[in-house]
Amino acid sequence: MNELQIGVFALGGVLIAGVLAYNKWQEIRHRKMAERMFPSTRAESGDSADVLFRRNARAASPAPEDDDAPTPPERREPRFFAASPTAQAEDGFAEEDEPEDTPAEDEEEDREDEAPAPGAADEGEDGNAADARSGFPAEPPRELLWSGIDVIAALELVEPAPAEEMLAFLQDMPPRSQKLLRWVGLNEAQGKWELLTPECRAAYRRLRLGLQLTDRESGPVGAAEFALFTRVVRQAAKAHMVVAEPLPDRQATLDQAQQLEQFCYESDIQIGVNLVSRESPFPGTKIRALAEASGMTLENGLYARREEKTNVLLFSLQNAEGRAFVADELKSLRSNGLVFLLDVPVTPHGQYVYRQMIDTARRFADTLDGILIDDRRQPLSEAQLAQICQNYVASIQKRMEEAGLTPGGALARRLFR
């Protein structure tokens, strides 16, 4: 055997030893990462259950069973924990007999297998515990994902992945599922959580996938949407070697969706105040002049009054005869009636905005020689207008605030869009 053959054999041996050493290092690295994420998983479970997909032990109460009686089933009132006495923070559902905890304590109960050492987490400004190692918020802020209206899966990637790679898991979903599913990731360069969109250029290691439990258009999610949600989580786990929290229990999630839908159904009120002409129809040119003088802008066939700083819709003005307002047709338009409309759950400061809308309607009535009427075409008195404000606007928005949902806030707009 010559020197060349000996050298080739020696080099091959070195390469093989290097590959084996690298594989062993990777195995130790991944094991340590999993142990940091779930330090007591095996000890608590008492078996060899899959740490990626363990069933959540904290399940919601079953929804009331329907019967053959004509009356609707009794509703279990969902309760939210608010982060402050003013109920400005939007927090999660809880059982009625559960003691009030802080948001961080409630989050720790939901995540039964996370047991950080004392002093390992600090409370952040948005109510989420901060990661002691990185200083980043441990969880997304409530306006992005919230356990009260979303079922959430947590994913920790070994290596960061770009937004487009994660969004690709949602591309083949039905339109409704695409609307209700959302990825949220921690942008470590900026130190904050953000909603993943095609415009995002960052790569993310810490991710959350949320499924919104209901919306105004389609109602509560069902077994099909939950199955798609779990499929995306498992696909991401397989593709990216993800360390994920246990997936939520399906029936508990569907029960929570039904409870949330009932809550939204009872809060979903739109108030319309009708203005009709006493004699001659209202000219379109005068309608436009009054609307513009009142700070309204023409949008999609109606006049909208928006908050200046946030651009949130406060109330709108529509043609009661069904014909849309079109800029080029206002000169020839004649209408016998107008409707001022306020969407209660998505309107901030509802009582103030309601009074502002009524004042605007009165100015229209005085200028156009009209009268404000109810649905039975009877004139609306001052007492009736005040009663509407108290019984519908004030009571509903107070109920939302007590539940931790801010009327007109980001979560309310998601639920009632």
pLDDT digits (tens, 9 = 90+) for 241-255: 776 678 889 999 999
The C-alpha atoms of residue 177 and residue 222 are separated, in whole angstroms, by 11
Write down the pLDDT at residue 255: 96
Q: What band does 149 get if pLDDT is binned at 50, 70 and 90? A: very high
CATH code, 268-415 = 3.30.1400.10
Percent of the chain with pLDDT over 90: 59
Write down the pLDDT at residue 172: 87
Write the CA distances from 148 to 90, 129, 206, 243, 256, integer angstroms.
8, 18, 21, 24, 9
Write down the pLDDT at residue 8: 77
The C-alpha atoms of residue 86 and residue 115 are separated, in whole angstroms, by 30
The C-alpha atoms of residue 337 and residue 321 are separated, in whole angstroms, by 7
Q: What band does 134 get if pLDDT is binned at 50, 70 and 90? A: low
User: Which residues are registered as beta bridge partners of 272?
Assistant: 341
The C-alpha atoms of residue 243 and residue 11 are separated, in whole angstroms, by 37
| Mean per-residue pLDDT over the chain, rounded | 78
For residues 271-286, b (16+ Cβ closer than 10 Å) or e, as one string? bebbbbbeeeebbbee
Given a cut of 70, whether residue 416 has pLDDT beyond it is yes
Given a cut of 80, whether residue 18 has pLDDT beyond it is no
Average pLDDT over residues 195-211: 95
Neighbours of 228 (CB within 10 A): 21
pTM: 0.66
Write down the pLDDT at residue 31: 58
The C-alpha atoms of residue 282 and residue 338 are separated, in whole angstroms, by 9
Q: What band does 29 get if pLDDT is binned at 50, 70 and 90? A: low
The tens digit of pLDDT for each residue in 377-412 reads: 899 999 999 999 999 999 999 999 998 899 999 999
Q: What phi and psi values does residue 159 have, to the nearest 5 degrees? A: -125, 145
Higher model confidence: residue 3 or residue 114?
A: 3
Average pLDDT over residues 8-31: 72
Write down the pLDDT at residue 13: 78
The residue with tokens 């513009």 is 292
Given a cut of 50, whether residue 104 has pLDDT beyond it is no
Burial of 379 (0-12, 13-18, 19+ CB in 10 A): exposed
| Range(s) within the chain of domains with CATH label 3.30.1400.10 | 268-415
The C-alpha atoms of residue 402 and residue 395 are separated, in whole angstroms, by 11
Average pLDDT over residues 224-247: 87
